[in-house]
Chain A
Amino acid sequence: MKTKFRYVLVRSTTSLGTIDEHEFSKGLMHYIGATNYFKANPRVVKNIDGNSFIMKVSLSGYSALIVALALMKHVSGKECGFFTIYASGTLKALGKHIGTPGTETHSKSSNDVDNFANNNNI
């Protein structure tokens, strides 16, 4: 049976470049739980700009990821917040929400997301 995924558009208060990716994953695992982390398998698939990125998570771990992002307020010793702006089953639907207030970008990121989706057959 095909595994279903959710793509989540996340906006953070600090730039993702200043956050250690390993620490970010550790934080997610802390709130999702080590035994459920492998089922959810959350990962960052696209960094839109410094503060906005897209995560991919399995449908069964979707609620756990939303809660984990809500509860996670410290990463790499820095205070930060993560806001889940939109969630969808496809990347193309997320592309429409990039550029809403709070997710402004400096590049043609909506086209970038569409190109990423097409190149990866999503």
Chain B
Amino acid sequence: MDYYDIVMDSCSFPSGFEHALGFKRVFVSGRDFEPANTDKGEDAKGRLAIGHSSKNLLHAARRFAVAVVPMNLGLDRAFIETLRENSTILIIPLSVTYGASSDFALSTNMHLASKMLAYANKRKVRVGFATMARSFEHMESYMQLIELAKLIGASEDEARQGISLAGDLFGK
């Protein structure tokens, strides 16, 4: 099974380092794909929608975004139902959990991520995992991503499949 990761445009890493981390490829926002920033109201049709507002992400999902990345980890049941109806992929940004400023924020983010994952699994929504790292220090190896996904409630198989999902999104 091949593993992939998605990072933000501000993240730079040495050439070939993604193979050391165990990824076949790391997709960089703005270079390998153009994301739709839903906070700025960008059209998300056929694109990866990234945003903090659940309401804007809900609009993006209704307008046939390929996948959505809720950076605030907020659980909105109508949002999850819309993802299920449109077969939109939900990508949980793991760097938001471990990039928290304090231990309480870390624990809160993990709780939110675990709740989102549990409800998405219950409603049969396809869930992927990615770091969405903003800097080199916030990248992780595939082993660490699998353990982090298991920490928020994914099984071993779900974690491995979730980490390989980006390859289906952007082409291998």
Task: Give A contacts to B, CB under 8 Å.
Answer: 11, 13, 63, 66-67, 69-71, 73, 79-81, 83-85, 87, 100-103
Q: Which residues of chain B are within 8 angstroms of A73 by Cβ–Cβ distance?
A: 98-99, 137-138
- Count: A-B pairs, CB below 8 Å: 61
For the complex formed, measure the closest distance between the CB of B170 and the CB atoms of chain A, giving whole angstroms: 22
- A interface, over-half SS: mixed
User: When the two chains form their complex, are residues A83 and B144 in contact, meaning their CB atoms are under 8 A apart?
Assistant: yes
Interface centre among A70, A80, A100, by most chain B C-beta atoms within 10 angstroms, is A70
Q: Does B106 contact A (CB under 8 A)?
A: yes
Query: What is the number of residues of chain B that contact chain A, defined by CB distance less than 8 Å?
Result: 24
Q: Which 10 A-B residue pairings sit nearest by Cβ, starting from the closest? A: A102-B20, A81-B137, A101-B16, A70-B144, A66-B147, A102-B17, A83-B141, A71-B98, A101-B20, A67-B147
A101 to B151, CA, bound (A): 28
Contact A11 B20 (CB under 8 A): yes
Which A residue sits closest to B13, measured CB to CB? Answer: A102
Q: Check if A102 sits within 8 Å of B21, measured CB to CB.
A: yes
CB distance from A10 to the nearest CB of B (A): 9
B171 to nearest A CB, angstroms? 23
Q: List CB contacts (< 8 Å) of B12-36 with chain A.
A: 14, 16-17, 19-22
Report yes or no: B151 in contact with A67, Cβ–Cβ below 8 A: yes
Q: Determine if B144 and A66 form an interchain contact, defined as CB atoms under 8 angstroms apart.
A: yes
Chain B positions within 8 Å of A85 at CB level: 20-22, 141
Task: Using CB atoms, name the residue of chain B closest to A82.
Answer: B144
Chain A residue with the shortest CB-CB distance to B133: A81
Closest-by-CB residue of B relative to A14 is B137
Residues of A within 8 A of B145 (CB): 70
Supply 12 A–B pairs (Cβ within 8 Å), ascending by A: A66-B143, A67-B147, A67-B151, A71-B106, A73-B138, A79-B135, A80-B137, A81-B140, A87-B143, A100-B19, A101-B19, A103-B20
- If A84-B143, A85-B21, A85-B141 touch, whether A13 touches B148 (CB-CB below 8 Å) is no
Q: Nearest chain B CB to A59's CB is how many angstroms away?
A: 14
Chain A residues whose C-beta falls within 8 Å of the C-beta of B127 in the assembled complex: none
For B14, the closest partner residue in chain A by CB is A102
B residues in contact with A63, CB < 8 Å:
147, 150
The chain A residue with its CB closest to the CB of B94 is: A70
